[in-house]
Amino acid sequence: MEDVREQVRRELLINQVQQHEVAGQVNITDREVDQYLQNAGANANVQYHLGHILIAVPEAPTPQQAQAAKQKAQQLRERIESGKASFEQVAASQSDGSNALDGGDLGWRSGAELPTVFSDVVPDMSVGDVSQPIRSPSGYHLVKLLDKRGGGSADQQRDQVRRRLFERKVNDQLEAWTQEIRASAYIDNRLDEHGNTAGSSQ
């Protein structure tokens, strides 16, 4: 258990360092905010009350692990839709999300504050709907639209959009950085293997 805790501490520290380094290079312009609001249209002025279930996958899951997580998410959705259990009960007992013990309640989010992976799904949902499994790097998500209402003021919307665009850019750059590091590590390993093979053949 101590080894696991230490590994988690190291991973959290690495993530914090990476996010700090990347966040310092991200800037959101007024033009980007205006463009987002123009594209979002009416959805930027709507707030959504969401429930959330996460079936997590490892950082670099195998196809089998990813498929197993997807199947579990689908089975949980079917259980909820059939009335065998409520969304809140399933979230509390099965979700890997941080809000699991609250029944998966994410609270109210404006259209501009929706996580990127939800932004194409939630606006088209009706109150009471449960989404199909939604894939993200962390796993598969089920989202329930508990309620929706009108949004806040124009200034609040702009602040929310700016935060959302900042988060998106940080995540995109962090993912690109991670992929670059993995690719570099793979090349180094291949070179080491090649060098060891060549050395052993001499």
Predicted pLDDT of residue 130: 96
Partners of 54 in the β-ladder: 141
Summarised one tens digit per residue, pLDDT across range 55-69 is: 999 888 889 999 999
| Euclidean distance between the first and the last CA atom of the chain, given in angstroms as a whole number | 45
Confidence of residue 81 (pLDDT cuts 50, 70, 90): very high
Q: Is residue 146 part of a domain?
A: yes
CA 12 – CA 59 distance, rounded (Å):
13
Residue 1 has pLDDT above 90, yes or no: no
Q: Is residue 33 part of a domain?
A: yes
Summarised one tens digit per residue, pLDDT across range 27-41 is: 778 888 777 666 665
What is the pLDDT of the chain when averaged over all its residues? Answer: 79
CATH of the domain at 133: 3.10.50.40
Q: Is residue 202 part of a domain?
A: no
Range(s) of the domain holding residue 150 = 22-158
Look at the chain and report how many structural domains it folds into: 1
Predicted pLDDT of residue 92: 95
Q: Is residue 1 part of a domain?
A: no
Q: Is residue 29 part of a domain?
A: yes
Q: Is residue 78 part of a domain?
A: yes
Q: Is residue 101 part of a domain?
A: yes
Predicted pLDDT of residue 41: 54
Q: Is residue 10 part of a domain?
A: no
Residue 125 has pLDDT above 70, yes or no: yes
Q: Which helix (H) or strand (E) holds 136?
A: strand 134-136
The answer to which of 75-84, 167-176, 179-188 has the lowest mean pLDDT is 179-188
Over the Cα atoms of the chain, what is R_g? 21
Predicted pLDDT of residue 31: 82
Bridge-based pairing of strands 46-56 and 139-150 is antiparallel
